[in-house]
Amino acid sequence: MSAKYGNIGHVLLIDVVRVSEAVTRTSARLGKVGHLAELLGRVGADEAEIAISYLSGELPQRQVGVGWRTLQDPPPAKLAATATLTHVDALLSKIKAVSGQGSQAARKALVTELFAGLTSQEQAFMLRLLSGELRQGALDGVMIEAIAKASGAPSADVRRALTLRGWLPAVGAAALTGGVAALHAFKLEVGRAVSPMLAGSAPNVAAALEKAGTPAALEWKLDGVRVQAHRSGDQVRVFTRTLDDITAQVPELVEAVLGLASDDLVLDGEVIALRPDGRPHPFQVTASRVTTKTGAPRLREDTPLSVFFFDALRVDGADLLDLPYAQRQEVLAQTVMPGLLTPRLITGEVPEAEQYFIDVIKAGHEGLVVKSLTSPYAAGRRGAGWIKVKPRHTLDLVVLAAEWGHGRREGKLSNLHLGARDPESGGFVMLGKTFKGLTDELLAWQTERFLELAEGSTDEWTVSLRPELVVEIAFDGVQRSPRYPGGMALRFARVLRYRPDKRAADADTVETVRSLML
């Protein structure tokens, strides 16, 4: 069965904006699916990818090179909504293509042209979309169901195609234009990135083993950059978990793959910068090395990357996705030399697993991924097949300021500026921002409380506060960062609870935070 395109009459951006707002207001999953499916059922063939991308909070172009400053001071908004999806998409592609001398001014002019053609409602939507702040609840799972409903294809077929294609807008467009037959046409292709399988989480090793089943494999969770390596003959391509091509930035990985006997394969793994003693550098060292596109020989000499593979998706022309983990590991071990394999332990004994976890943490790594021996490679999905376990760090910090939110958080002070106490100066040092972990109840409470503590606004988005409120923050680590005054920032900070029992003078100090930095 395929989708019907009786009305291919140029969907407007405002149609997408209104559906996005409706999804934001709707809490029930079926309600969200209904709003999305109604729009997807009437988009044209040339609009499907664009609509799905926008409603998923991303751009078909991925990045267009527009920063926050370029988005400041938009032109006056139009009163009538006339901008079509295809027109907006074409302008964004032009913006991305701008390069060379004078590119900043040219890009700004195109952004102005784009926003001049939008209503205030559309401008607000596009601002959030371009800044990565569009979070209206149309996550992959909801969007998959909406695509299935609009196209008439089973959701299982949509998921399977996503596994093989790696990008939901393209899969959705195929389903909407060609139905089940178009979805079945997707195959695992060497050179085309596959959405990586993702891990769920558990509070401890025992809970992870219970979820995964015993015995299970306990793999080191390295704090590096996830990579997917494709080889066809002498050609190697490497992709990140976001499906970006980083082949040129990781020559060590390319050489490692070319050194394998198989010349037709797809492997899943990690690259990481290690110190001479084998302990990992802070994550941002690895990330900086991988994202820097110039000076590769010097960077390689200064910051060499180590390569570790933990899964095989294809070897010698055979697709392995549907095989259980244990069988994929057998193939991986026959394909990759031991020094390139992620360390692991297979056990069903909780004490042994807990000790292994402690040893991995002592070695400076993030934790473990506990994997079911029977699970297939469920690309693009989280489930009980893979369960990550990490130690949880917490700090008591002071809220220094807050930012007005977007989307679900619009009208609420949400993004917290977090500070640690500096005993020497008597003040506080900012360590980063977060809105993670905030429930609707907390958002409402803190907005009211923050306005009582407000000392003024530093810009149109940010409200400075008297440093009185202490909040307990969970985080995954501390990294060096030139962005903040203390030269460091929290990784993946999230709110656990406010601490009315503590004064600002009881908050953790800068030195305490610095002692946690790798």
> Known catalytic residues?
221
Contact 366, 359 (CB under 8 A): no
Residues 6+ positions from 38 with CB-CB distance below 8 Å? 19, 150
Residues 416, 430: Cα–Cα separation, whole Å: 10
How many Å apart are CA 69 and CA 88, to the nearest integer?
Answer: 20
Whether 52 contacts 172, CB under 8 Å: yes
At 182 the three-state DSSP class reads helix
Beta-strand ranges (E) seen in 357-500 are: 367-372, 382-389, 393-404, 413-422, 427-434, 454-457, 462-465, 470-475, 477-480, 488-491, 494-498
> Considering only CA atoms, which of 293, 284, 191 is closest in space to residue 234?
191
> Which residues 6+ apart lie within 8 Å of 419 measured at CB?
397, 398, 399, 400, 428, 429, 430, 431, 467, 507
For the chain, the first-to-last Cα distance in angstroms comes to 55
268 closest CA partner among 306, 232, 225: 225
Question: Can you tell me the distance from the alpha carbon of 211 to that of 368, in angstroms, rounded to the nearest whole number?
Answer: 14
Residues 53 and 36: their CA atoms lie apart, in Å, by 12
